[in-house]
Amino acid sequence: MELVTKAIKGTLDTLPEESYKIQYLEAAMRETAENFGFFEIRTPVFEHTELFQRGVGETTDVVQKEMYTFDDKGGRSITLRPEGTAGAVRAYLEHGIFNDGAPQKMSYITSCYRYEKPQAGRLREFHQFGVENFGSSSPAADAEIISLANEIFNYLGVENLRLEINSIGCPECRKVYHKALKEYFESKKSSLCPTCLERLDKNPMRILDCKNPECREIGKDAPVVLDYLCDECKEHFENVKKLLEIMEIEYSVNPKIVRGLDYYTKTVFEFISDDIGAQGTVCGGGRYDGLVEELGGNPTPACGFGLGLERLLLLMENQGCAFPTRKPCDLYLVSMDEKSNLKAAYLANELRKEGMSVQFDVVGRGLKAQMKYANKIGAVFTVVLGENELESGTAKLKNMEDGTEEEIRLDTFVSDFQTKALENALKDIDWSDVDEKSFGSVLGGEN
């Protein structure tokens, strides 16, 4: 068989046998975000190109090299979102969310698109969990989003992450810093790549984020931004550090962190792992107090972060983190003929209404093939329905784990099977290990 086409380079299919892992990550992120007061926003997958040119920054690699941009049928320049923040700001302004008071807290799980070299944990279509806090200039807002990310990692059992933080100052102290950077890099122009030569006049700080090995080597001895902070930015950064210490979140200061997007001000941070290769940043973010105004709003302080789902999943798999098992099939109804298949369809439908996972034959398999399939999908119980069972009104319920069987009535099958399934789920639980939070999940309800 010759395929018409294959998946585009840099994209990834998440297959049914793996999707439950991503769903687990998403559920953990949404639950944690809601505990911090961040609730979901969803924005379109494409926006007008100028949103990202103005928001992300024309001197960034994202805008210069990586965006998927095209003209639509109306001749408008459209771009697939390369990150989530600019779209969230646009929605915040367009819908007047700023009128509802501060802070406004948003979260999202979204697909993003960047044309870059695919590698482990880095794709051209990737997914991000992100949070945005609009309206607070307090260092407490910075520390809160850092602690939110930290709590997600703790929830998921991720280890050996290091938190690195920095302050890149406000526009005022950045002017002084940019001047010092320009003087430093001017003497090394002959060794800079063409992109960094352009950045030298427009935004020399972007040179520090260049991926070219020669430029990175030159940048190692460049002036440090922390030496140029104004008093207000210094105080803000010191208070962020104090709050992290109060929250017992370990960190180190890395004065070389600038982040890859132009909208950042003051606090920037990254959670980094050495377990996923050279591209070790799993989560990054910070403060962006000028972005709302840049996109047409009133001056509004804001902060947030983005966390890559594919990269986090890769890290968890490399570390051997525990994932919940995929929801099992509670019951497979084996049917011997057309009439018993109708009964199986009825019983399956009634049990599904009660929240049970039930399957029955939909492809016309024989008895042995159905039992083999039930075993393959990990059915906990099976029931064989045929002419004799329909006439007698009873059937044999088989436990697929230990092979035991017991008779069950068909007229009370739904309620009787629910009871049996619950008994089976509870019998192997070590109640000494069950805390109050997990008790609801044991019984199949919410935490």
Q: Over range 145-158, report the average pLDDT.
A: 97
The answer to whether position 27 is within a domain reads yes
Residues 6+ apart with CB under 8 A from 88: 41, 43, 106, 108, 130, 132, 304
**C-beta of residue 90 within 8 angstroms of C-beta of residue 295:** yes
The Cα 41–Cα 108 span in angstroms is 6
Tally the domains of the chain.
Answer: 2
Whether the link from the prior residue into 171 is cis, omega within 30° of 0, is no
171-175, 201-205, 385-389: range with lowest mean pLDDT: 201-205
Q: Over range 164-181, report the average pLDDT.
A: 92
The answer to whether position 184 is within a domain reads no
120 and 256 fall within a common domain: yes
348 and 309 fall within a common domain: no
More confident residue, 257 or 436: 257
Whether 445 shows a pLDDT value over 80: the answer reads no
309 and 404 fall within a common domain: no
* Residue 284 banded pLDDT, cuts 50, 70, 90: very high
297 and 417 fall within a common domain: no
The answer to whether position 194 is within a domain reads no
The residue segments making up the domain with residue 119 are 16-170+230-319
**Which single residue is written with the structure tokens 């045929």?**
386
Q: What is the DSSP letter of 11?
A: -
Whether 307 shows a pLDDT value over 60: the answer reads yes
The answer to whether position 10 is within a domain reads no
Q: Over range 369-376, report the average pLDDT.
A: 97
235 and 297 fall within a common domain: yes
* Residue 105 banded pLDDT, cuts 50, 70, 90: very high
70 and 138 fall within a common domain: yes
**C-beta of residue 205 within 8 angstroms of C-beta of residue 265:** no
164 and 246 fall within a common domain: yes
Measured in whole angstroms, the distance separating CA 368 from the mean position of its chain's CA atoms is: 42
Q: Over range 226-230, report the average pLDDT.
A: 95
Model pLDDT, residue 357: 97
Whether 412 shows a pLDDT value over 90: the answer reads yes
Question: End of a domain among 265, 291, 319?
Answer: 319
Q: What is the mean pLDDT of the chain?
A: 92
37 and 159 fall within a common domain: yes
* Residue 447 banded pLDDT, cuts 50, 70, 90: very low
31-35, 129-133, 207-211, 398-402: range with lowest mean pLDDT: 207-211
The answer to whether position 52 is within a domain reads yes
271 and 358 fall within a common domain: no
Q: Find which of 189-203, 259-273, 309-323 is predicted with most confidence, using mean pLDDT.
A: 309-323
Model pLDDT, residue 405: 96
Model pLDDT, residue 116: 87
Its pTM stands at: 0.88
143-147, 214-218, 402-406: range with lowest mean pLDDT: 214-218
* Residue 65 banded pLDDT, cuts 50, 70, 90: confident
Question: End of a domain among 285, 319, 353?
Answer: 319
Q: How many CB atoms lie within 10 A of CB 315?
A: 23
* Residue 433 banded pLDDT, cuts 50, 70, 90: low
The answer to whether position 158 is within a domain reads yes
Model pLDDT, residue 206: 82
* Residue 434 banded pLDDT, cuts 50, 70, 90: low
The answer to whether position 188 is within a domain reads no
**C-beta of residue 101 within 8 angstroms of C-beta of residue 290:** no
DSSP 181-201: HHHHHHTTGGGS-HHHHHHHH
**C-beta of residue 103 within 8 angstroms of C-beta of residue 150:** no
Using CA atoms of 273, 276, 279, 282 in order, give the dihedral in degrees to the nearest 10.
Answer: -50
The answer to whether position 431 is within a domain reads no
274 and 341 fall within a common domain: no
Question: End of a domain among 260, 287, 319?
Answer: 319
Determine the 3-state secondary structure of 334 from DSSP: strand
**C-beta of residue 243 within 8 angstroms of C-beta of residue 140:** yes
Determine the 3-state secondary structure of 290 from DSSP: coil
313 and 353 fall within a common domain: no
